[in-house]
Amino acid sequence: MPGSDHGLDLGIKRDGGLTHVLDKGLGPRAWADVLETAGAYVDIVKLGWGTAWVTDGLERKLEVLREKRVVIGGTFFEVVYARDQLEEYKRWLTAHGLTHVEISDGTVDIPRERKLELIADFARDFTVLSEVGSKDSEVNFAPYLWVQWIEEELAAGAWKVITESREGGTAGIFRPTGEMRTGLVDEIAHSIDFHDLVWEAPTKASQAWFVKHFGPEVNLGNIPPEEVIPLETLRLGLRGDTLKEILLREEAAGSAADTLLAGGG
C-alpha cells in the first residue's frame, strides 16, 4: 500500500475484489496517467460499446493497457452478431491481442439458447464475461429469471457474469430513477456466489452500498477511471461512507472478543 511508506502503516489491506473500469475513449497518455497513480486497483478495462471501433491509435492505447485485462463492450458484440460477423470478430480480437470478450443481449434480441451457444463457442478461445439484464429501463425481469440466466451462462463457460445497470445506473439492477433494486440484488446473491458476479455500480452511493453489504472483496463494474481511487478508499474504509463498517469493523469485533475473554458482559 503506497501510503504505508515512511512508517505510516494503518494495517489496512484487502484480498480480492475486481474493479472493472469503463473507458469511454481516453487516449494512451491519459491511461498512462491513470495507471501511474491507480494501476494497482484496475483489474479489467472495458472499452465501452463501440468506442474501440472509432478510436484512432487503438494499438497504442492497447499497448499502454497490455498488463490489464481489456474487453470490448458487449454492445459491440451485439452489433457484430447483428451483422453476422462473429468469426471476423474473433480474428479482430486476436489480431489486437485481446484475450477477453463480453457477450451481452441488452439491446439486440438474441435467442436464449443461441446466446448460451455463443458463450460456449467463444469460451474455447477467449475468457468470456457475459452480461444479464436489459438496457431498456422499462424492462423489469423477475428475480428468478436473473438467477436462472446467470446460472446458465456460468455453466456455458462464462468466467464472470455482469449485472446490467447502464453507465448511469438507470436500468437492470437499478430503477429508472437511479434507485437500486436491493431486493433483486439480494435474491441474486442468495443463489449465486457473489465472486462469480460483477455488479455494475457506476455511482458512489451504489459502490458504498455494495461494499457495506458484501465486503471489500465484492466485484464492481462500470467504474469511471477517475473514480478508481475513490472506490479503493471505499473498499478500505478510508471514506466516511464505509469507515465504520469496514475499517472499524475488525476493531469492534476485537474489542467485543476481549470483553468476553475478560469475563465482561
DSSP lists the bridge partners of residue 100 as: 127
Given this model, what pLDDT does residue 254 score?
Answer: 54
Number of domains in the chain: 1
Lowest mean pLDDT among 56-70, 105-119, 151-165, 251-265: 251-265
Given this model, what pLDDT does residue 264 score?
Answer: 54
Give a yes or no: residue 8 inside a domain.
no
What range does the domain containing 238 cover?
Answer: 14-261
Grid cell digits, residue 6: 515512511
Instruction: Tell whether the model's pLDDT for residue 151 goes beyond 70.
Output: yes
Confidence of residue 247 (pLDDT cuts 50, 70, 90): confident
Would the CA dihedral through 228, 229, 235, 241 be positive or negative? Answer: negative
For 63, the enclosing helix (H) or strand (E) is: helix 58-64
Give a yes or no: residue 246 inside a domain.
yes
Give a yes or no: residue 97 inside a domain.
yes
- Is residue 100 within 8 A of residue 73, CB to CB? The reply is no
Average pLDDT over residues 187-213: 95
Task: Write the CB contacts of 59 (distance below 8 Å, at least 6 apart in sequence).
Answer: 96
Given this model, what pLDDT does residue 47 score?
Answer: 98
Average pLDDT over residues 186-204: 95
Average pLDDT over residues 242-264: 65
Q: Measure the CA dihedral 166/169/43/182, to 10°.
A: -120
Average pLDDT over residues 19-42: 97
Give a yes or no: residue 157 inside a domain.
yes
Give a yes or no: residue 225 inside a domain.
yes
* 3-class state of residue 198 by DSSP: strand
Tell me what percent of the residues of the chain surpass a pLDDT of 90: 77
| pLDDT tens per residue, range 60-93 | 999 999 999 999 999 999 999 999 999 999 999 9
Give a yes or no: residue 206 inside a domain.
yes
| pLDDT tens per residue, range 229-242 | 999 999 999 999 99
* 3-class state of residue 153 by DSSP: helix
Task: Write the CB contacts of 246 (distance below 8 Å, at least 6 apart in sequence).
Answer: 211, 212, 215, 216, 234, 235, 236, 237
Higher-scoring residue by pLDDT: 73, 1: 73
